[in-house]
Chains A and B, each alone.
Chain A
Amino acid sequence: MTAAAVSIRNISKTFGKGGTIALQNIELEFQPGEFISLIGPSGCGKSTLLRVIGDLIEPSEGEAIIGGKKAHQARLDRDYGMVFQEATLMDWRTVEKNVSLPLEMMGWDRGARRERVRELLALVELTGFEDHHPWQLSGGMQQRVAIARALTFKPSLILMDEPFGALDEMTRDRLNLELLRIWEATGATVVFVTHSIAEAVFLSSRVVVMSARPGRVQRIVETDLPYPRTNDTREDPRFFELATEVRELLRESHEAREGQ
């Protein structure tokens, strides 16, 4: 039996002394190669959960296991790549140098780095932009550089925190398609935090719907739309059904909280 890609065991997180409960008794398991979206209202702890998986935040209780390893060990072994809402590129580095940063830290030699960066820039369709600086690129292009950077050391897990949240809708739709293509090409497991129902349903094999205060898993929606998904998927009746289902779940949790 192979280990789950991510196994979240009874995780709770409280910020401050007796403060807000960001996460309460979260139990989740993601299989290798799955595309998982975490969706929920602000304050549902979806970004916190992502950071617990990445060992960037310590949970108050419980533990995250990544491919059979404790999250801390998985981070030290560089088992995952991370993409944030802001591209978080280093202004002083060119596109090529930004993408090769993780490889430099792993001690790859120059030739090997260059070769790998070339492959990755081809994958995100940025060949020819090696010598540009981040501010010379559009927001969408910057985010593609960030994705390439997250893929440099071929991680089996990619954690994405609203990576397309700051982009306009057209760019977002295009990058959604591109992300699916990359996901299919790499076979990695993706955990994707988003605010957008359409984005969650379009991308994911499963959507984890969370509710806020305290952050809990409300329901997991299986999105049984066939891959590869295309622009036509967005017009599929089943796509609308699933989006409606997620929307109603979110509304339910919202109304339940209002009613308290």
Chain B
Amino acid sequence: MTRVGRLLAEWAPALAILVLGLVGWEVAVNLFGIQKFLLPKPSEIITAFWDERSVLWPAGWYTFTEAFWGFVAGVSCGIVAALVLARFRPLGSALMPYFIAASAIPIIAFAPIANAWFGIEKSSKIFIAALLCFFPVLVNTLRGLRSVRPQQVELMRSYAAGETALFRRVRVPTSLPYLFTSLKVASVLAMIGAIVGEYFGGSQQQLGIQIKNSAALFQFETAWAAILVACILGLAFYMAVSFAELVVIRRYPSAPRQRG
């Protein structure tokens, strides 16, 4: 079998499920006469997706850039904070309980307040997305930086290594799988943060506002089409992060049992 053939064979069951699901959905809506505001037919959603493309995709892109910059800001701050806290252990131990507590706060609840601080345009959404990304990245990366085995520390000390060398040669490579796990979570959270942040107020350019307004105007197929755009962009973001992981982990592989 060719490479393409093998790939097709591997994906065929998943594709079949998708097609079956869509057909079943379409048939069920017709058969039971389900109201459009409850659940539009896939064919209607696809039609709206195509007809409204000139509105939905720019809105999607706009929201994606909010999520992206929120991700960049939140992840950078999370990594830097983790490095500082791992380097200065007493400080880390003092602050860690608060960070763990903070990571359990429903940050999205701050969205209206973020609007008051930064206005209803881009920056308030970036802020919420960044805040959502910050805590999981911080907590996971810190855990990774600290999960070094004691013997590895002793080994490095026997080479007269200082803290900087220990970080560079052992702590950072050890933390990479933990970091990437949190980055994947953060990529999803960033999209959620941006869209839900928009629900609390924004401009017509934003996808969240498109979803909200379409639903309010009973254009449910458009709302669903906008959600589809959000799904596609969110998935693309997640896959981009996964690809980056693949590239980095190829350079810094860990034993197969740890790959999970």
Contacts and interface: CB of A to CB of B under 8 A. Distances in A.
Contacts of A88: 149, 151-152, 155
B159 A102 contact: yes
Interface in A79-121: 80-82, 84, 86, 88, 90-92, 101-102, 105
A76 B256 CA distance: 35
A76 B160 CA distance: 5
Contact of A105 (B165, B252, B254, B256): B165
A69 interface: no
Contacts of B251: 92
Contact of A84 (B155, B159, B170, B252): B155
B247 to A, nearest CB: 14
Nearest to B249: A92
Contacts of B176: 92
Contacts of B155: 82, 84, 88
A135 B255 CA distance: 6
Given A90-B170, A101-B169, A75 B157 contact: yes
B255 A77 contact: no
Contact of B253 (A81, A105, A133): A133
Interface centre among A76, A90, A133 (most CB of B within 10 A): A90
Contacts of A78: 158-160
- Which bracket fits the contact residues of B? 20 to 34
Contacts of A77: 160
A59 interface: no
Interface string A47-74: 0000100101000000000000000000
B28 interface: no
A82 B159 CA distance: 9
Given A51-B154, A82-B154, A91 B159 contact: no
B154 A56 contact: yes
Nearest to A57: B154
A125 B250 CA distance: 27
Contacts of B154: 51, 56, 82, 84
A40 interface: no
A78 B253 CA distance: 29
A90 B258 CA distance: 13
Given A86-B149, A90-B169, A92-B173, 9 more contacts: A56-B154, A75-B160, A78-B159, A82-B155, A90-B173, A91-B255, A101-B159, A134-B255, A135-B255
Interface of A: 51, 54, 56, 75-78, 80-82, 84, 86, 88, 90-92, 101-102, 105, 133-135, 159
